[in-house]
Structure 1
Amino acid sequence: MDAQRNVDALLDAAKSAFGTLGVDAPARDIAERAGVGVGTMYRHFPRRSDLVVAVLEHEIDACADAGPALSAAHEPYDALTSWLDRYTEFVATKHGLAAALHSGDPAFDALPGYFWERLGPVLDALLEAARATGEIRADISAKDLLSAVALLCHPVPREGPEYGQRMVALLVDGLRNPRD
């Protein structure tokens, strides 16, 4: 149980450190944020890439898991837009991690497939439910939407992450089925 608590603390600490300091955040800083020793961190994540992969998979899983919960709690269009807000937040805060992903390090080779396998079906289900109510257009795919949001969330000089969120809100408004 302590081992899992340490892993969870390290994932949260690494997520926070990566968000503020980038993926090259000092191991000592991550361990201190987690309340563990550096040795404990390296015992669970022997290479920095192991920690980066674990943080990304953890965040992807949390985003994927939000889909069914939102579907159970909201009407289809509201569930879809709430999930897209969650996904937008995920993408907008992961640019340091995205740079690591595109670094050519083979440790990250499986992550794009993991991303699509976990998030694609969740968004497909949300889209299908919203399509069934007639609230959104039928010509949008999960791949289109995941890619569009990711592109809209790229940093823009002199603009904060809220700029990307505004652009995604415009995109989401464009999903609505035009009324006669």
Structure 2
Amino acid sequence: MDGSAERPLRADARRNRDKILAAAVRVFADAGLDAHLERIAKEAGVGSATLYRNFPTREALIEAVYRNEVTQLCDAVPGLLAAHPPYEALRAWTRLFLDYVTAKYGMADALRAIAAAGSNPYGHSRDMILAAVTALMDTCVAAGTIRTDIGPADMAAALEGIALTSASPERRERAERLLDLTLDGLRV
């Protein structure tokens, strides 16, 4: 852990941390395990010392990037439900899920290396994603727009399957078609 959860960050420190995380997603997606931390700092517009103060090791940075991506994905649910009818919110969230998986795809080797070293970068991500899918599907069921015989665990498994087979950037169009097929199968 990077220690930032122990005390709140000043606004400027929080902005720097967020810039580092955003730059790290791009750089890890582009260069994978070969990503240089100095490149991440440069793309974030911060010095190397700022990067290392927030993330003392490559593993800490990779894990923080992954957790941040999961949190952003799951935190999008209330806003989507407020802005769209339930079924459209579910559809929009599945596209965000693809964005998340595509970003993770570029970091897959790095995440596997961390897991092999004994850390669990995935932590509660499955539970968080299942909770997000549950909230979306429950709202759709209440609105009468999707079937009641398919549960959130089944939908999460379908999303994982699509991710495993089609989530690389060059297969985005195929992934979207598979998502549409899956979502169409949920409709009442």
Normalising to structure 1: TM-score of the pair?
Answer: 0.87
- 1:72 paired with 2:82, answer yes
- 1:92 paired with 2:92, answer no
Name the structure 2 match of 1:142: 152
Q: Give the alignment's Cα RMSD to 1 decimal.
A: 2.1
- Indicate how the Cα distance of structure 1 residues 162 and 23 shifts in structure 2: closer, same or farther if over 3 A, else same: farther
1:58 to 68, 90, 106: 68
2:133 to 105, 123, 126: 123
Paired AA for residue 100 in structure 2: F
Name the structure 2 match of 1:175: 186
Indicate conservation of the 8 Å contact 2:25/2:103, yes or no: no
- Identity over aligned residues, as a percent? 37
Q: CA separation in 1, counterparts of 2:133 and 2:58?
A: 30
- Indicate how the Cα distance of structure 1 residues 173 and 114 shifts in structure 2: closer, same or farther if over 3 A, else same: same
Q: CA separation in 1, counterparts of 2:59 and 2:169?
A: 30
- 1:10 paired with 2:20, answer yes
Q: CA separation in 1, counterparts of 2:67 and 2:138?
A: 25
Q: CA separation in 2, counterparts of 1:112 and 1:142?
A: 19
Post-superposition CA distance 1:66-90 (Å, at most 9, x none): 1011111221111111111211221
Name the structure 1 match of 2:173: 162
- Indicate how the Cα distance of structure 1 residues 114 and 125 shifts in structure 2: closer, same or farther if over 3 A, else same: same
SS at structure 2 position matched to 1:112: coil
Matched length: 175
- Indicate how the Cα distance of structure 1 residues 158 and 78 shifts in structure 2: closer, same or farther if over 3 A, else same: closer
Runs of 4+ in 1 over 4 A off after TM superposition: 155-159
* Deviation (angstroms), 1:25: 0.8
Indicate conservation of the 8 Å contact 2:81/2:89, yes or no: yes
Post-superposition CA distance 1:131-174 (Å, at most 9, x none): 12222121222222223212212355995322222211211111
Indicate conservation of the 8 Å contact 2:70/2:129, yes or no: yes
Normalising to structure 2: TM-score of the pair?
Answer: 0.83
- 1:81 paired with 2:91, answer yes
Q: CA separation in 1, counterparts of 2:122 and 2:83?
A: 29
With 87-96 and 11-20 compared, the bigger mean Cα shift is at 87-96
Q: CA separation in 1, counterparts of 2:170 and 2:156?
A: 22
Q: CA separation in 2, counterparts of 1:139 and 1:97?
A: 35
Paired AA for residue 104 in structure 2: K
Indicate conservation of the 8 Å contact 1:88/1:168, yes or no: no
Indicate conservation of the 8 Å contact 1:92/1:154, yes or no: no
Indicate conservation of the 8 Å contact 2:32/2:110, yes or no: no
SS at structure 1 position matched to 2:122: helix
- 1:105 paired with 2:117, answer yes
Runs of 5+ consecutive residues of structure 1 not aligned to the other structure: none
